[in-house]
Structure 1
Amino acid sequence: MPDTKYCYPDTDVLINKLDIRDLDKLHIFERKLTMLRLLELLDKPINGKFDFKHLQAIHAYIFQDVYDWAGKVRTVDIAKGNMFCNVRFISSQADVIFSGLKEEHYLAGLDEDMFIKRLAYYFSEINALHPFREGNGRSQREFIRSLALKNGYLIYFDRVSEEEMLLASQKSFLCDYEDMEKIIAKCIKKK
């Protein structure tokens, strides 16, 4: 069934600020603009409380030049191989995820092995939530990068391929976080 809420009629092209209706051109435009915003965040991360509003603020910043709905919770169900969180449960599941992170003191004080395990867990859970219509991966990675930075770590996600990330994400849907832990371990470095 076509997405009539977010896409131009009879297409899978997301309605965007420049009214680009060609999917390939939109991908190029989106990648260039979001890459610039992500580069800005390397120098000045979004301040926040590492809660759902913080994730939304990150998404809003990264996608502000592309979509009017940047930072807003999606209102349709989406899937990419696996079905992401049902739209009716995004708010309640976000509460569970981010209150858990708060209860764990945002992972402060953990030894490196445990930090990697818990970071992989939260990365996976936020991925399963997939609260935005598009741009979840970039927003999640920036959120996780900022959380790691707060805890004295740097993360270089360019050390893993998209395929490795996709496979680890798929396994994490089944609560198998081992591959995601390996990815985080491969990407992380003490500051």
Structure 2
Amino acid sequence: MNDRIYCYEGTDVLINKLGIQDADILATAERKLTGLRILELMQNPVEGGFDLQHLCDIHHYIFQDLYAWAGRLRDVDIAKGNLFCKAEYLDTECSRIFSALSRERHLGVGTTQKAVKTLAYYFSEINALHPFREGNGRTQREFIRQLALSEGYIIEFYKITEEEMLDASRESFLCNYGPMEDLFSRCLRAICAD
């Protein structure tokens, strides 16, 4: 998607701190740099209240080496098969989703099955927001990983293929959370048994 705000003129290459204007080279640099930052987060998570600011702080941490806009909500509409939340509604929708998450008191006391449903739902809702110009998947996985960990669960995303995640994400756009719940059932485990 070519946009004048985030991309080098006449290209689909995101303007970046490294000055890279070749999409393949940028993709490689992004994969390496963000991979290192995500590994750092495994040891030292970004602290926060599992709200929008926390999500933005995680995005900033992961993408700080690449993009000046890391951690800031996007100003353009984006799509990947489905149109994600329109930029003009991001503030309203983020407020709705993170207020609901706060009211649920995160995962609360309950079973692993309740945690699966809650995590799958909020993962899907944050995915539908796609609040950043780039890096939404990595950011939402880290946010949900930290949320699960705070409630006594470990998520093993490596057990899910990219195709399975894309299929479940498409279904969740239609408010069918079952496929996403199935994925989370496979990759979520309690640190201590229920």
TM-score (norm 2): 0.97
In the other structure, the counterpart of 1:168 is 168
State the 1:175 CA deviation.
0.2
In the other structure, the counterpart of 1:14 is 14
> What CA distance in whole angstroms lies between the structure 2 residues aligned with 1:27 and 1:2?
16
In the alignment, structure 1 residue 125 sits paired with structure 2 residue 143: no
Equivalenced residue count is 191
Alignment of 1:105-184 (within 5 A): 105-184=105-184
The answer to whether the 8 A contact 2:127-2:169 is kept is: yes
> What CA distance in whole angstroms lies between the structure 2 residues aligned with 1:144 and 1:156?
11
In the other structure, the counterpart of 2:44 is 44
Q: Which amino acid aligns with 2:17?
A: K
In the other structure, the counterpart of 1:53 is 53
> What CA distance in whole angstroms lies between the structure 2 residues aligned with 1:189 and 1:5?
41
Q: Secondary structure at the match of 1:45?
A: coil
Q: Which amino acid aligns with 1:5?
A: I
Structure 1 unmatched runs, 5+:
none
In the alignment, structure 1 residue 98 sits paired with structure 2 residue 95: no
Q: Secondary structure at the match of 1:105?
A: coil
Percent pairwise identity: 57
Structure 2 unmatched runs, 5+:
none
State the 1:115 CA deviation.
1.1
> What CA distance in whole angstroms lies between the structure 2 residues aligned with 1:44 and 1:108?
23
Q: Secondary structure at the match of 1:106?
A: coil
TM-score (norm 1): 0.99
> What CA distance in whole angstroms lies between the structure 1 residues aligned with 2:121 and 2:177?
6
> What CA distance in whole angstroms lies between the structure 2 residues aligned with 1:40 and 1:122?
24
State the 1:114 CA deviation.
1.1
